[in-house]
Amino acid sequence: MEAAMGRTLIEKIIKAHNGGDCTGGDLVWMDIDNRSARDFAGANVVGNLQKYGGNFPIEDPSKTFFTFDCNVPANTIPYATNQHIIRLFARERNLKVYDVDAGIGSHVVIEEGLGKPGSTTVGTDSHLNIMGAVGAFGQGMGDVDIAFAFKAGKVWFDVPESVRVTLTGMPAQGSEAKDVALAMLREFGSHALLGKSVEVRGEWLDQASLSDCITLSSLGTEMGAIIILLPPNKQVLDYFGMKKEEAIFADEDAEYVKEYNLDISGLKPLVAAPPNPHNVHFVSEYKNTAVDGVFIGSCTNGTYEDMAYAAKLIKGRKVADGVMLKVVPATRKTWERMLHEGLIADLFDAGAIVSNAGCGGCASGQIGMTGSKEIQVSTSNRNFAGKQGKGDTYLSGIGTAVASAVLGRIASVHELGEV
């Protein structure tokens, strides 16, 4: 009898959640640890539950919750109405609501220790696959599927095939996790990894912080991947107070439909120019492009570490005349820490506008939209036409964003030394 083939990380996570011994292409039912819906589409989830479920019980109210992050506080009547529909339903069913002051739902799930390594989370957020940052399963799904997850505590899932990407070498000083993610977008575009579970490994990942991992995994959707799954390193395990044996990892003999190597040795800062996230070039190619605004935040670059780096770079400097710098921390806890440590003051003194926690302009939210012909540098994950307004958006890391705000043009973090 042949020995059983080793399983990939996503296959082992699914198996651990009663999905059985599965492989790419299988259709499974899997248990879900965290069932969520955000203010966008959350009211539709409630509507589906009321339409199809009647007076049924929620499978486990302690694992079921709503997150408000797209438009907080609501600045349109439809958003305000939808949010309150959710609040009323949640009160009736004794469900938790992370309301308009909590921050980005995916970050809150990690911050609260709910989306720990090896766990499963679903919701109405298309970037909920960010859970891959901690070696966990996360997936955005339609409102009908999420309504069913609320009721049954499980979902059906078409197991994706797995590929593995090995990052070799280390980036140049001044480059960030965003530059690594953009390098992957430049290499793979939106089709090579389409529909795949992507496991990443390499020297850079071994030393990456939780913030770095979040940035990389948050761009999986833009690569067309189902999820970018990162085996949790020591920094991630320490964050959750977990030992290595408590997490889930791929088997040593796991087989992948394809394996890639990407050399990031000496990688320099990159930007994704309009009209899409995989139109990636070196920052230096756009040094003559004047900017009107800069947005720092989103699920991609809104962590405390991102905010602290931005504040450190801009302290003692000034935002260029005619440039609007908008900063939106990912969560209330991050905002609170920035407040008590003086980072808000550093940003304010430099001329930045600091908003409450949330998605900000990335989700047509409370801050950060662009007007026609406006040019913006943004640390978010999408720059499709209309996503952040009618202007042109260039995606970058924190260093490039701050340098661009200070110099009034697209600039590398290395150029701040000349100011």
- At 51 the pLDDT is 87
Domain 9-158 in CATH 3.40.50.1010? The answer is: no
User: pTM for the whole thing?
Assistant: 0.95
Residue spans of alpha helices (H) in 113-249: 143-152, 177-188, 203-206, 210-217, 234-240
Q: Most distant CA pair in the chain: distance in Å?
A: 73
Give domain 271-418's CATH architecture: 2-Layer Sandwich (3.30)
pLDDT < 50: residue spans in the chain: 1-3, 419
CATH 3.30.499.10 segments of the chain: 9-158, 271-418
- At 21 the pLDDT is 94
- At 419 the pLDDT is 43
- At 364 the pLDDT is 66
Cβ neighbours of 195 (radius 10 Å): 12
56 vs 104: CA distance, rounded Å: 29
- Domain 162-263 class? alpha beta
- At 1 the pLDDT is 32
- At 361 the pLDDT is 77
CATH 3.40.1060.10 segments of the chain: 162-263
- At 418 the pLDDT is 53
Apex 174 CA angle, 309 and 128, nearest 5: 60
- At 388 the pLDDT is 78
CA distances from 93 to 5, 37, 61, 84, 90 (A): 44, 15, 8, 14, 5
